[in-house]
Chains A and B, each alone.
Chain A
């Protein structure tokens, strides 16, 4: 099966829309992906470095409150801190609204999908209440600019990013023989090094062992962060001497950030990384158990292009297995609700303007019941891929509930369910869904049945 515009939009985009034409060809998709990021320009999410309130803002205000303790200014400082938390919470709602609005209005759905895939590959979770609104800015800064660029550039951006350093404890890791560790009686933390090998690059079946984890952890020391000064490479925290990772020796002179970049580049170029990424890509976009030929083709594209993710994406889209008629994957809850809002043609500007409470009632609360509490995956491996993990009694209760209640909340003039079937599912909609839609007692349940159907939940 060659290219098909309906499959392109459902499987590699963000779903069909009554007002936006699907892409016409693979070339068309790639031109859009390699062109300017129009959605990001229209619905702005700040880069991490520009987002407010910043960790430094919180830090400074906490200092002021501490200094005011016991004085009559304490109450005022406390109040300012509360106000700052509210601003942060509202900013998180704005960024969430922007993501929904982008999905609903984009002509470049592939970019939205890829952004979510890579953000999940390099999952971070906020570890304190004061950084919860900074997850989306992390993705905007470290992930999104690289989705059609080089994997090694994304890896560098992520591995030096404050969100990742804090999430995986790297900012407190120091070489056992470093100056700071000697003075403060602290030392190494393996967390980031292990996940970098296991999750980000070679994969758990890759050719590394505990010694590599340890040596990499020692090499990564020096990557540091604090709220006051942001990301720094601290040679006082770095382990002196060379480290041997996967048989290759790094560093040895004065500790330098370039030694870290050198190992990151080598990990990015490792054949096990190509294989791991290829398989994950195929599993995410095509099938829980993808054809081996597809995985091979993607791994080859990754290897031959030096990890150019645009080339890997194009190899996926040029492969016949990508266009199989059968929808083998289940949409994750976020993909489900955004494709639902897109099919319903909800005004993106209204979505972008949702308050925290509106966003929670229409989307965020539901996502949690469906098993995807927003930006709070359970571990550094991100969200599960296996369809059976999502389509559980609990998850289905959440999906059906959203399908039956959210559309009426988002629009007071719901479409005719008999037409909505084809808007949402395309001309080849499952006849059983068409039957159910016309047999429904009212528009709410008719539209709800279409959105709740297996045909709509799959991609």
Chain B
């Protein structure tokens, strides 16, 4: 309801777009590739060992006596070794259809201090560490920088969180579906005057107005209305009452991605399960599950060309802590989904959870850099070269062999 109102108020702006002094008439290009790439940052450190449970590892059950694993908690067997957390049951049909999978025992190169904030910075900056300083752009933005002259709406950062992963010199659009802006053309011209000479403000406000106007165009209103219609009609959505900000974000992303947008990024938080993990992680997983189902339904035919990566800053301790939760760890899992993905499998080089196998005696040992998977997905989706990926986009990364995540 709220969103419809927002689009209505935006509609009043549409006719004025041509007169706006803030819209610079520059020719921008659409993206030269078709694959839709969605990167969801799971803020707070998702416990990969609980989400994709290696219940075939003899050590796991002993590490998690009260959180529980496998059949005891109704986890769904995937391949005899791994089982899916029951809160992701709505996604199991996607897994069986090969539209969802996971990569396990992975992490960024970040080690030891286990700070959320540094961990997320490293994940989104795509760097081996934070020692260089100064480099404040994200790897998705550096991907965009490989194709100069793209329209800003090729890539969308969605929601209220700052998405470092998409920030940088290449233009990217950014919007949260519930911001409203309604100004007369005269005021818009004067705003340009009061931001003159302050580039930070100038850039942000002209984006704010330009995006509001783009949303007011007929195409955008229609796209949003269509998404709503598709939600109502989809059999997968039957009986699932989806609501909440994460669903709005996913609906918005789907609407843009059905059009010219090729990259969308947003975050889902609630993963910092220090206590009572069983119920806390189930809530976060339900949000993730709703989000992916909304994307799938909203994208319609474009789902077949979509790759969704769900990444987190690090994993959590293998051993549960004293309050039925887990503390900050190292290795974890990345989930992926999309009609363009080769899912139905858990890709891993399993290090084991036994005595002596754990990193620093406490965490799942990462056996591969999570950036390698993101790099190979971008390579297959956009055709960007290995040299560009290993050089500028992910500095100091060795991509290794292709895990062939895309069909």
**Which A residues contact B (CB, under 8 angstroms)?**
169, 172-174, 176, 181, 185-191, 194, 198, 204, 209-210, 330, 368-369, 371, 373, 378-379, 381, 384, 387-389, 391-398, 400-401, 404, 430, 432-433, 435-436, 439-441, 445, 448-450, 452-455, 457-458
Contact = CB atoms under 8 A, between A and B. Distances in A.
27 contacts: A172-B323, A173-B322, A186-B323, A187-B321, A188-B322, A189-B274, A190-B321, A204-B117, A369-B176, A378-B43, A378-B269, A379-B116, A389-B162, A392-B162, A394-B174, A396-B204, A398-B179, A400-B191, A401-B180, A401-B182, A430-B197, A436-B193, A439-B193, A440-B187, A449-B187, A449-B190, A454-B200
Given A393-B208, A397-B212, A404 B187 contact: yes
Contacts of B117: 204, 379, 381
A254 B182 CA distance: 65
B196 interface: yes
A394 B112 contact: no
A387 B115 CA distance: 22
B325 interface: yes
Contact of B114 (A186, A188, A210): A210
Interface string B311-326: 0000000000111110
Q: 10 shortest A-B CB distances, which residue pairs?
A: A187-B322, A453-B194, A393-B207, A454-B198, A454-B201, A172-B323, A397-B208, A393-B208, A436-B190, A397-B179
A449 B200 CA distance: 17
B112 A400 contact: no
B190 A394 contact: no
Contacts of A209: 112
Contacts of B275: 169, 172, 189
A346 to B, nearest CB: 22
Given A189-B325, A381-B117, A394-B176, A436 B194 contact: yes
A432 B197 contact: yes
B207 A453 contact: no
A433 B194 contact: yes
A387 B150 CA distance: 26
Contacts of A187: 321-323
B89 interface: no
Interface centre among A387, A392, A448, A458 (most CB of B within 10 A): A392
A173 B211 CA distance: 48
Given A172-B275, A378-B161, A391 B183 contact: no
B118 A391 contact: no
B175 A393 contact: yes
B160 interface: yes
Nearest to A368: B160
A139 B201 CA distance: 32
Interface centre among B190, B198, B200 (most CB of A within 10 A): B190
A277 to B, nearest CB: 17
B114 A396 contact: no
Contacts of A455: 194
Given A176-B322, A452-B194, 10 more contacts: A190-B274, A381-B116, A389-B162, A397-B179, A400-B183, A401-B179, A436-B193, A439-B193, A452-B191, A455-B194
Interface in B120-162: 160-162
Interface centre among B173, B183, B272 (most CB of A within 10 A): B183
A432 B360 CA distance: 59
A186 B211 contact: no
B197 A449 contact: no
Contacts of A393: 173-175, 204-205, 207-208, 211
Nearest to A458: B198
A449 B162 CA distance: 26
B260 interface: no
Interface centre among B184, B275, B322 (most CB of A within 10 A): B322
Contacts of A450: 194
Contact of B193 (A210, A389, A432): A432
Nearest to B174: A393
A174 to B, nearest CB: 6
Contacts of A186: 322-324
B190 A445 contact: yes
B115 A391 contact: no
A185 B323 CA distance: 9
Nearest to A176: B322
A368 B179 CA distance: 10
A173 B191 contact: no
A400 B181 contact: yes
A186 B328 CA distance: 18
Contacts of A369: 176, 178-180
Interface centre among A188, A381, A441, A453 (most CB of B within 10 A): A453
Interface centre among A373, A391, A450 (most CB of B within 10 A): A391
A439 B196 CA distance: 15
A396 B274 contact: no
Contacts of B328: 190, 194
Contacts of B321: 187-190
Contacts of B211: 393
Contacts of B194: 430, 432-433, 436, 449-450, 452-455
B323 A445 contact: no
Contacts of B200: 330, 387-388, 391, 454
